[in-house]
A = this chain, B = another copy of it.
Amino acid sequence: MTHPGRDISEGGLVGHIARIPLFEGLPDTYLRELAMLVVAQDLPKGHEIFSEGDEGTGFYVCLTGRVKIYKVSWEGKEQILHIFGPGEPFGEVPVFSDQPFPAHAQTLEESRVLFFPKEAFVALIRRYPDLALKMLAMFSWRLRRFTQLVEDLSLKEVPGRLAAYLLYLSDRQRGEVRLTLDITKAQLASLIGTIPETLSRALGRMARAGLIALDGANIRILDRTALSDVAETSGRI
């Protein structure tokens, strides 16, 4: 866990912190208190923020850019657990469990992150239980997400996971059928638990079957119903 980025000035920090969903509604006093103990860092693309096994002395919030949380196998294969963007916290697990980070975190692009030291944050939670409830809601969301990931990996085949991801993307973009991948296909492969070759073939089969139209990073959903079927039944394309 190195800190190579230049620390940024404190000006406007309170404003940034106030806009983080986790801290929404937090009284000004607490926000200013947080601003005093926070460390901001500007990090280049590909920077390893922490590694699995590192001691967790605090957690992070992404302000700009994107960060992936991932595991690596002995042979070097990678499984992405999450991709976090602006406003999302990460690396909170060690804050509450006195154990090292369970996975790696690395920037996907040039990013600005805030670091919150563990002890100060726990102390704040004790004085402001609503913050604890927000954190619990956050954790609940993560557990739900992992439940989904385990189901996908264990009970669905690659086309099913892919269809589920495309529908998720579409939902996130208010039901839009024209999707633009905001990650590379290699990253998408790692996110749904496969490799680029297999992903490429699965996309190809879906396109040939008329479920989607492909154009580089742009994907158009042509048959949402059929796509839902694939997602839920793991059915052959």
Binding site for B on A (CB under 8 A): 71-75, 77, 79, 81, 92-97, 99, 102-103, 122, 125-127, 129-130, 132-133, 135-137, 139-144, 146-151, 153-156, 193, 232-234
Contacts and interface: CB of A to CB of B under 8 A. Distances in A.
B153 A153 contact: yes
A194 to B, nearest CB: 9
A-side interface mostly: helix
Contact of A132 (B74, B94, B136, B234): B136
Contact of A74 (B99, B143, B234): B234
A139 B145 CA distance: 13
Given A132-B133, A132-B136, A146 B144 contact: no
Contacts of A141: 97
A74 B137 contact: no
A146 to B, nearest CB: 4
A232 B72 CA distance: 11
A96 B92 CA distance: 17
Given A73-B234, A75-B233, A153-B153, 16 more contacts: A71-B151, A74-B233, A77-B155, A79-B151, A92-B140, A95-B136, A96-B137, A97-B140, A99-B144, A102-B147, A125-B132, A135-B136, A136-B139, A139-B139, A139-B143, A146-B146
A155 B122 contact: no
Contact of A79 (B130, B154, B232): B154
A75 B234 contact: yes
B73 A144 contact: no
Contacts of A142: 143
Contacts of A74: 155, 232-234
Given A146-B150, A154-B193, A96 B129 contact: no
A148 B102 contact: yes
27 contacts: A71-B147, A71-B150, A71-B155, A72-B155, A73-B156, A79-B154, A79-B155, A92-B140, A93-B143, A97-B144, A102-B144, A102-B147, A102-B148, A103-B147, A122-B133, A125-B129, A125-B136, A126-B130, A135-B136, A139-B139, A142-B143, A143-B146, A146-B147, A150-B150, A153-B153, A153-B154, A154-B193
